[in-house]
Chains A and B, each alone.
Chain A
Amino acid sequence: MLEIKGVSFTKEDTEILKGVDLTVPDGKLFVLTGPNGGGKTTIAKMIAGIEKPDTGSIILDGEDLVPLDPTERAKKGVSFAFQHPVRFKGFTVRDLLDIAAGRTLSDEELTALLLEVGLSFEQYAGRAVDSHLSGGEIKRIEIASVLVRDSKLMVFDEPEAGIDLWSFNSLIRVFEGIRDRRSATLIIISHQERLLSIADELVLINGGKVAFHGPAERMLPFIMKNDCINCPVDEKGDLIGPDR
Chain B
Amino acid sequence: MDRIDSKTAGLLRTVADFDPEKFMGAFNIRSNCMSIGRRSTENIKIETKTDAPGLDINIAPGTKGEEVFIPACVTKAGVDDLVYNDFFVGEGADVTVIAGCGIHTETGEPARHSGVHRFFLEKGARVLYVEKHVGTGNEAAKKVIDPQTECYLHEDAYLEMDTSQLGGVSSSVRHTSARLAARAVLVIRERLLTDGNDRAETYFTVTLDGEDSGVNLMSRSVARGDSYQAYQSEIIGNCRCSGHSECDAILSENGRVDASPKLSANSQDAALIHEAAIGKIAGEQIMKLRTLGLTEEEAEAAIIDGFLK
Contacts and interface: CB of A to CB of B under 8 A. Distances in A.
A71 B294 contact: yes
B267 interface: no
B302 A99 contact: yes
B287 A88 contact: no
B290 A71 contact: yes
Nearest to B303: A88
Contact of A90 (B289, B291, B292, B308): B308
Nearest to A82: B288
B293 A89 contact: no
B164 to A, nearest CB: 13
Contacts, number: 56
A89 B288 contact: no
B309 interface: yes
Contacts of B248: 89
A50 B302 contact: no
B292 A74 contact: yes
Contacts of A100: 292
A102 B294 CA distance: 9
Interface size class of B (residues with CB under 8 A): 20 to 34
A91 interface: yes
Interface string B223-255: 000000000000000000000000010000000
Interface in A148-163: 149
User: For A71, A74, A82, A100, which residue has the most chain B Cβ atoms within 10 angstroms?
Assistant: A71
A50 B291 contact: yes
A48 interface: yes
Interface in B256-300: 282, 284-285, 287-296
B307 A70 contact: no
A69 to B, nearest CB: 7
A80 interface: yes
B220 interface: yes
Contacts of A88: 285, 303, 306
A8 interface: no
User: For B285, B292, B294, B296, which residue has the most chain A Cβ atoms within 10 angstroms?
Assistant: B292
Contacts of A102: 292-293
Contacts of A49: 291
B305 to A, nearest CB: 8
A49 B292 CA distance: 12
User: For B287, B290, B293, B302, which residue has the most chain A Cβ atoms within 10 angstroms?
Assistant: B293
Contacts of B290: 69-71, 74
A145 interface: yes
User: For A73, A85, A88, which residue has the most chain B Cβ atoms within 10 angstroms?
Assistant: A88
User: For B284, B288, B307, B308, which residue has the most chain A Cβ atoms within 10 angstroms?
Assistant: B288
Interface string A59-91: 000000000011101110011101001101111
A22 B250 CA distance: 41
Given A71-B290, A99-B289, A89 B306 contact: yes
A238 interface: no
Nearest to B250: A89
A48 B288 CA distance: 10
A149 B307 CA distance: 24
B223 to A, nearest CB: 16
Interface of A: 48-50, 69-71, 73-75, 78-80, 82, 85-86, 88-91, 95, 99-100, 102, 145, 149
The 10 closest A-B pairs by CB, nearest first: A90-B306, A74-B293, A70-B290, A90-B307, A86-B288, A91-B306, A100-B292, A71-B290, A86-B284, A71-B295
28 contacts: A48-B291, A49-B291, A70-B290, A71-B293, A71-B294, A71-B295, A71-B296, A73-B291, A74-B290, A74-B291, A74-B292, A79-B291, A86-B285, A86-B287, A86-B288, A88-B303, A89-B306, A90-B303, A90-B305, A90-B308, A90-B309, A91-B306, A99-B289, A99-B302, A102-B292, A102-B293, A145-B292, A149-B292
